[in-house]
Amino acid sequence: MDNSQPVGKYWIMFVISSIVQIIFLIWIREYFWIVLPFVLTTFSRAMRLI
């Protein structure tokens, strides 16, 4: 596992995808699950789990 990679871009992508998911939950509730893979993947990369 390479822990020397910077993860700042993954945190930014996580925040942006979380905001998009909140927007989807407010206005397009039927399709909020479309954003879930992006939120979960960027969070796990930011935490260096994958």
Tell me which residue range forms the domain holding 38.
8-46
| 16, part of any domain | yes
Question: Which is it for the CA torsion 45, 7, 47, 27, positive or negative?
Answer: negative
* Residue 21 in this model has a pLDDT that exceeds 70: yes
Report the domain count for the chain.
Answer: 1
| 1, part of any domain | no
| 17, part of any domain | yes
* Mean pLDDT (whole number) for 4-26: 92
Fill in the amino acid letter for 9.
Answer: K
Fill in the amino acid letter for 50.
Answer: I
Looking up tokens 């992006």, which residue turns up? 38
Q: How many CB atoms lie within 10 A of CB 42?
A: 21
Q: What is the pTM of this model?
A: 0.83
* Reported confidence tier of residue 5, pLDDT bands at 50, 70, 90: confident
| 3, part of any domain | no
